[in-house]
Chain A
Amino acid sequence: MSRLLVCPPDYFQIDYEINPWMRRSNAVVAKNAARQWHALMSVFEQGLGVALERMTPVPSLPDLVFTANAAVVAGRRVALSRFRHPERQQEEAYFEQWFRERHYELFTLDKDCFFEGAGDLLGFPEGWFGGYRQRSDIRAFPRLSEWFQQEIIPLELIDSRFYHLDTCFCPLSGGELLYFPDAFDEYGRRAITERIAHDRLLPITEPEALRFACNAVCVGKDVVLPAGCPDTVRLLESRGYRSHPVVLDEFMKSGGSAKCLTLALD
């Protein structure tokens, strides 16, 4: 991974409540949010040598900062999102424009077939997983599977606090999976254990899952994750990963962290 799409948090705030984390009364402190976001960006740029593509923020679209939900990108192929909540649907046009101007091959789903980008579609080179029920519609995956020529194993998300797959499921570059098993039902857990060898499964604890330890970005052997997850850090280090904790609590007010703030472009 060498390039990430990001969007500065100029207009980031809690204007509405569309997940259990959001409370309009729990206002974002803008200057803290800006500081945290820039700290995260400097870890990527200066620390890990990642190239960043910055979108232009738009007033009245506070969640545009969470670029993970823009789309899924594989090579030159892009599948654009269809947001479930009307509050975020206006973001679609901006994301589409960004990809269109850069001449990506675009794929859009039918209007009522919700799909929230890389928030709900993650995977390993040999097989992808799709989170559904909370935000994305399971019917999106057969279409996406055809578009990307990839197997997509749907996983039902059963806990509204883990409303996107990237809040509880994080594939690592060495083939390991950092995940929170209780966010899935019995069928989902079995599907995961049948696909991923037991010694590559890295289950995390509930307190750290609730601090969004899985909402991490893995670049080679480096993992950027929210601060306050010492058990996860130890787990990662035992497998030879370097961890880079970043304080992102302003974004947790909206139910997002490191991974939600980035979209892998290649």
Chain B
Amino acid sequence: MSPVHETVILQGHIIDSLILAKVLDTVLMMGGTFDLKEVRIGATREDSSRAKITVQAASARQLTEILQAIQPHGAAVERESDCTYQPAPSDGVLPEGFYATTHLATQVRLEGEWTDVENIELDLAVSIDPIRNNACAVPMGDVRKGDLIVTGREGIRVIPLERPKERDVFGFMASVVSSERPHHPVIADVAKRLAGLREAYRQGRPASKVLLAGGPAIVHAGGRDALAWLIESGYVQVLFCGNALAAHDLEVALYGTSLGYGIAAGRAVPHGHEHHLRTINRVRALGSIEKAVETSLITSGIMAAAVRQRVELIMAGTIRDDGPLPGVITDSVEAQRAMRAAIPGVGLALLVASTLHAVATGNLLPASVPTVCVDVNPAVPTKLADRGTFQAVGVVMDAASFLMELGRELGWNP
């Protein structure tokens, strides 16, 4: 959407009189654009019709000129009111009728001023500070008794996504999931983004971090070396995973097996099923994965690269974890909080081979973050889109093939 816009209402016998056509023509003739949000045609000849039109312009001045030109034809700026709010009745409980957020940029109107909601994320509430004219998205669990929470729908506006300037796969924003779609153009576009973001990150520009959320299939399937290279080369700044990805990666480093299967030989190794337990135990003995890398117990792989590159690593545990490894956050509310804190600054998200981490991360991402979801199972990107992360580009593909092809596109030469 253009930088400035205003919604107007036009009502009356606006169709047969061509008043609607005149207003829309005027907007275009004056260099603006419009979105016809809603047109309700009167049921009988006596009934009025009503149109809701969002007028967009390149500058505030142009918008004012357009609004002045269309107001005499009845286009009235939608009557705006401040948002309403109520105190939270107790810790962790929102007032009835609270406003639930989308992951699109959102503004609330406080004392006549539109204020951006900070840290927007899917399915949160909006907490406001009317004294400081400040609004912030807040998870249900973090609400404290008496916090002022926005209720109803008045005085709230959600700003549709701007079409990105880059003419790449993310520009279409249509998460059509198909295993039959050619992968290469998507991977080439992701690679181009990664190269640009690495440069931007080195220059300290905002929204330049790359987030990768991955599952252990990356290791089983053979994508470990490619991902380690991507991290080592500075293409990833934030890594979300569970106990398994880390444990299997470390197991390969120590034993050359993943869950007891020889990575190179591809068959079960005697007593191999114990390898991941022994790996976890050794790291627990040292106290942390960082220690294991620093003491050269672990010298290769994803975790080693992440520690060396100072990647922000957040590991969220599950009830089937062995160990877990030190650093795995076993309280899921705590884990969610840690993941949320790592989101600001992310400019691209890669969700690879993990249903739970993909959905959990998708929930935390604002819609403005280009997102790729890679999984052999088409249900995963579909599920992600169904849960609201509509900006995610789905790639139905094996994790290892994806990472290897992405690495090669960026110069990985194993």
Given contacts A127-B45, A151-B46, contact A187 B19 (CB under 8 A): yes
In the complex, A150 has a CB within 8 A of chain B: yes
CB <8 Å contact, B18 and A191 = yes
Report, as a range, how many residues of chain B touch the other chain: 10 to 19
Cα(A149)–Cα(B74), bound, Å: 20
Cα(A132)–Cα(B12), bound, Å: 13
Cα(A132)–Cα(B13), bound, Å: 13
CB <8 Å contact, B48 and A146 = yes
Cα(A149)–Cα(B48), bound, Å: 10
Q: How far is the CB of B73 from chain A (nearest CB, A)?
A: 6
Quick one: which of B16, B48, B74, B76 contacts A145, CB cutoff 8 A?
A: B48
Nearest CB in chain B to that of A185: its residue = B22
Given contacts A149-B46, A152-B12, contact A139 B76 (CB under 8 A): yes
Residue among B13, B48, B73 with the highest chain A CB neighbour number at 10 A:
B13
In the complex, B17 has a CB within 8 A of chain A: yes
CB <8 Å contact, A153 and B17 = yes
CB <8 Å contact, B17 and A191 = yes
**A-side contacts of B16, CB under 8 Å:** 153, 191, 194-195
CB <8 Å contact, A187 and B21 = yes
Quick one: which of B18, B45, B73 contacts A151, CB cutoff 8 A?
A: B45
**A-side contacts of B12, CB under 8 Å:** 138, 141-142, 145, 152, 154
Inter-chain residue pair count (beta carbon < 8 A)? 53
Instruction: Type the 1/0 row for B73-88, where 1 means its CB is closer than 8 Å to any CB of A.
Output: 1101000000000000
In the complex, A24 has a CB within 8 A of chain B: no
In the complex, B3 has a CB within 8 A of chain A: no
**A-side contacts of B76, CB under 8 Å:** 139
CB <8 Å contact, A138 and B72 = yes
Cα(A168)–Cα(B17), bound, Å: 17
**B-side contacts of A155, CB under 8 Å:** 17
Cα(A145)–Cα(B78), bound, Å: 21
CB <8 Å contact, A156 and B13 = no
Nearest CB in chain A to that of B18: its residue = A187
Given contacts A153-B16, A153-B17, contact A142 B48 (CB under 8 A): yes
Nearest CB in chain B to that of A141: its residue = B12
In the complex, A133 has a CB within 8 A of chain B: yes
Cα(A185)–Cα(B23), bound, Å: 13
Cα(A187)–Cα(B15), bound, Å: 11
Please list 16 pairs of residues, one from A and one from B, whose beta carbons are closer than 8 Å in the complex, sorted by A's number. A138-B12, A138-B72, A141-B12, A142-B11, A145-B48, A150-B46, A152-B13, A153-B17, A154-B13, A154-B17, A155-B17, A156-B22, A185-B22, A187-B17, A191-B18, A195-B16
Counting from the closest, the 10 A-B pairs by CB-CB distance are A142-B12, A138-B74, A187-B18, A153-B17, A187-B22, A151-B45, A191-B17, A142-B48, A154-B17, A142-B11
B interface, CB within 8 angstroms of A? 11-13, 16-19, 21-22, 45-46, 48, 72-74, 76
List 8 additional contacts besides A145-B12, A145-B48, A151-B45; criterion CB under 8 Å: A127-B45, A138-B72, A153-B17, A154-B12, A154-B19, A156-B22, A187-B19, A195-B16
